[in-house]
Amino acid sequence: MKANTGLMSISQASALISAGKFLNIAGDEEALKQLPKGNWIGGTIPYFMSAEGGKIARDQVFVNEIVDMASAPTIRQYDVDSLPQLCRNAPDHGYTILVVPAFGPCHSSFAENAPNYEDMYIKPVVGWVAGVHLEDLGKTTPKVANGLTGELSDQHAIAMDVPLPPDQYAQIDIVNLFQPGEGDSITFDSTGFAAGACTIGGKPANLAEFLTTNNIDTRLPLVADYCGAMINVSIKAVDAKAGKVEFYAPVFQGLTYKIAAPVKDYVHEFQAALPKIESGITFSCNCILNFLYSDLEGKRTANVTGPITFGEIGYQLLNQTLVYLTISK
Amino acid sequence: MKTEELLHKSLDISPPWNIVRVREDLGKQQIDVWVARQTGKSWFFGSKSSAIPEDREMAWRHVNLGGCRCVVHAVPNTESPPLPWVGEPGMPFTHGMSRMIAAMMRDGIKLQSICAILDITVADLWKFKHTLDSGKAGLSGGNATTAAIPEASSSSNVPDPDSPIWEKLLDGSANIDIRLLGLKFLLTKLREQMRVITDPEVRVLKAYELQRYFARYEQTLGHELAQLSKL
């Protein structure tokens, strides 16, 4: 069955909801508020990678219809205390789509603790971090939507657990154009969204001082090698005076990071890096920082479409990375 | 067998240690026992025992007595091998209970099920698991609970959990090219844990965890399994 997936009008999305479809919907808060109750989860964001290219729209929503399923998906709303049950509640065979509002308690808790959730990495979890239009930062908060109740919340996370038939399986992959650069290795003594003291090249150092004195382009993330998967931590702000660097995802104690090598042409290199996907993409999202730093508005990233987000979820929280889910037989 | 002998046997308590006090009214379906070193004949169970210094007394959940939770109160000791009815300071369980839980974890029983079967709290189980994962406590030294090695299907290409290949993957002495993102994350996490885990039995737990992942996703891990067979 072909899925109704793409950027569409609020009335088109409403029609799908009214038809009882199971949907993941991304859109501006005012757009989500206009949708009827039904079998959908969502989050706020007005940035999209549409079939025509990168786009900012407040009057349209991006819809992913779930068509592959063994039985009806289950929608679950989590607070910061129940979120660790995410994978335990997930179907034994299937996957979970998770939406978390940026800057809320679920965001930081998931980012720091997800690797230790029961059954994490065993059951596939894909998703995204809801955000706001950059002009609205500080005026409104990112929110998730529970389509069953119509409630929008900046304090909860929302998930859809999708059971799959035995002959189908879910696979999560990433496209990350950033590779570790030639510079020194960086390690941290503790896990967190901010750091100052660290070890660089085996010597005690301060990261803020290091970035400032070496005039490092802070659009480049820190990159760690997870057994072959290059995982970014993006730099949010550098306070040289306070000797502190803030990140969009936590750095983890024990892992070794490097400043990424620059990416010359995101669109060109992205197309070269994207593997041939024969079965089609069920869900994908890309990072707002890639959208901004690589100036993706109006540009297409191959045939990959979806929300442009304040963080990506491929099992754990990711930064500056495209995440996609495929269902294969 | 006398009742007191049965109780000592059930809780794996033997001389010179002795049960000096029992209460069954401190919690619903709960029996609390106090254990101290036996010094001669006394009023309780026919033995004279040294009193437990209250300031040093600790309590741990021990193996259940039938349908009742059992809490042992005693002073931590440094007997080697560790006594089954005593625990480490700060840990929620006795060594006997710890080994029983570890055996269930090794067999892949879900944490929620372990809590239900043994009537223990999720918080205590997570504390126990975190302490093992961070290398701050071990399981070795006592009578190891033998795990039933899961019977692999005759057509399975996944090595047994006791195969040395898992330890090699976990300590980084063997590397393979991995395609599955979930496995890349899992192996990274397990390697981080293995860096700080020195206890042999806890390291075996991690090997079983990794083997279970391969067994679960055998159909999609052809690329990785083909490399294992050549290591």
Structure tokens at A214: 């070496």
Distant-in-sequence, close-in-space partners of B50: CB < 8 Å, separation ≥ 6? B36, B37, B39
Confirm whether A312 is domain-assigned: yes
Domain match, A271 and A214 both? no
B144 within a domain of the structure (yes/no): no
Domain residue limits at B113? 3-133
Max CA pair span of chain B: 69
Q: Do B216 and A316 touch (CB under 8 A)?
A: no
Residue A229 contacts B, CB cutoff 8 Å: yes
Asked whether residue B18 falls in the same domain as residue B125, the answer is yes
Residue A179 lies in a domain: no
Residue A210 lies in a domain: yes
Which pLDDT does position B43 carry in this prediction?
47
Final residue of a domain: which of A230, A259, A288? A259
Answer whether residue A88 is part of any domain: yes
Q: Does B189 touch chain A (CB under 8 A)?
A: yes
Q: Which of A213, A238, A259 is the last residue of a domain?
A: A259
Q: What is the pLDDT of residue B148?
A: 52
Q: Are residues A130 and A38 in the same domain?
A: yes
Residue B125 and residue B171 in one domain = no
**Contact across the interface for A172 and B182, Cβ inside 8 Å:** yes
Is residue B114 included in any domain, yes or no? yes
Residues 121-150 of chain A with CB under 8 A from chain B are 121-122, 124
- Listed in sequence order, the residues at least 6 apart from A314 whose beta carbon sits closer than 8 Å to its beta carbon are A125, A126, A172, A173, A174, A321, A323, B181
Q: How far is B181 from chain A (nearest CA, A)?
A: 6
> For B11-24, b where at least 16 C-beta lie within 10 A, e where not — what string?
bbbeeebbbbeeee
Spell out which residues of chain A touch residue B180, defining contact as CB-CB under 8 Å: 171
On chain B, the residues whose CB falls within 8 A of the CB of A316 are: 185
Residue among B114, B184, B214 with most chain A CBs within 10 A, to mutate: B184
User: B126 and B176 share a domain?
Assistant: no
- The structure tokens listed for A159 are 């998930």
Task: Confirm or reject contact between B204 and chain A (CB < 8 A).
Answer: no
Contact list in B for residue A322 (CB cut-off 8 A) is none
CA of A114 vs chain B CAs: smallest distance (Å)? 11
Q: Tens of pLDDT along A144-173?
A: 999 999 999 999 999 999 999 999 999 999
Residues facing residue A286 across a β-bridge: A308
Could you tell me if A152 and A235 lie in one domain? no
From the list A116, A119, A314, which residue is nearest B181 (CB)?
A314
The two tokens of residue B139 are 């399981």
Give the model confidence (pLDDT) of B92-149 as tens digits.
999 999 999 999 999 989 998 999 999 999 999 999 999 999 888 778 765 555 555 5
Q: Report CB contact under 8 Å: B185, A88.
A: no
Give the three-class secondary structure for A317: strand
Nearest to B111 among A118, A124, A226 (CB): A118
- What are the structure tokens assigned to B157, written together? 């290409």
Nearest to A39 by CA among A127, A191, A145, A110: A145
B177: closest chain A residue by CA:
A228
The reply to whether B195 touches chain A by the CB within 8 Å rule is yes
B155 lies in some domain = no
Distance between CA atoms of residues B59 and B87, nearest Å: 8
Assess contact for B63 and B47: CB atoms under 8 A: no
**In terms of domains, do A221 and A314 share one?**
no
* Domain match, A82 and A214 both: no
Q: B-chain residues within 8 Å CB-CB of A227? A: 178, 183-185, 187-188, 191
Test the A interface: residue of B181, B190, B214, B221 with most A CBs within 10 Å: B181
Residues A15 and A102 in one domain: yes
Determine the residue of chain B that is closest to A323 in CA distance. Answer: B181
Q: Which residues in chain A have their CB less than 8 angstroms from residue B177's CB?
A: 228
Same structural domain, B9 and B89: yes
Q: Euclidean distance between the first and final Cα of chain A, in Å?
A: 14
For A:163-182, CB contacts with B below 8 A are 169, 171-174
pTM of the entire predicted model: 0.89
Residues A164 and A95 in one domain: yes
Does A248 share its domain with A118? Answer: no
Asked, for residue B110, whether it belongs to a domain, the answer is: yes
Q: Which domain holds residue A25?
A: 6-174+267-328
pLDDT bin (cut points 50, 70, 90) of residue B185 is very high
Alpha helices, H only, chain A = 10-18, 29-33, 86-89, 105-113, 207-213, 266-273, 288-293
| CB-based contact A244:A194 (threshold 8 Å) | yes
Query: How far apart, in whole angstroms, are the C-alpha atoms of residue B120 and residue A21?
Result: 41
- Structural domain total, chain B: 2
A181 is a domain residue: no
Do residue A16 and residue A88 come from a single domain?
yes
- The β-bridge relationship of strands A125-130 and A94-101 is parallel
Q: Which residue of A has its CA nearest to B176?
A: A227
Domain assignment present for residue B156? The answer is: no
Residue B172: list chain A partners with CB under 8 A. Answer: none
In the prediction, which pLDDT does B141 show?
Answer: 62
- Name the closest residue on chain A to residue B221, using Cα atoms: A171
Where b means 16+ CB within 10 Å and e means fewer, A291-314 reads bebbebeeebbeebbbbbbbbbbb
* Domain shared by B98 and B187, yes or no: no
Contact criterion met (CB < 8 Å) for B195 and A118: no
Check A118 against B112: CB less than 8 A apart. Answer: yes
- Per-residue pLDDT tens digits of chain A, which is 329 residues long: 788 999 999 999 999 999 999 999 999 999 999 999 999 999 999 999 999 999 999 999 999 999 999 999 999 999 999 999 999 999 999 999 999 999 999 999 999 999 999 999 999 999 999 999 999 999 999 999 999 999 999 999 999 999 999 999 999 999 999 999 999 999 999 999 999 999 999 999 999 999 999 999 999 999 999 999 999 999 999 999 999 999 999 999 989 999 999 988 888 888 788 777 767 899 999 999 999 988 889 988 878 899 999 999 999 999 999 999 999 88
Q: What are phi and psi of A82, to 5 degrees?
A: -95, -10
* pLDDT of amino acid B44: 55
Amino acid at A8: M
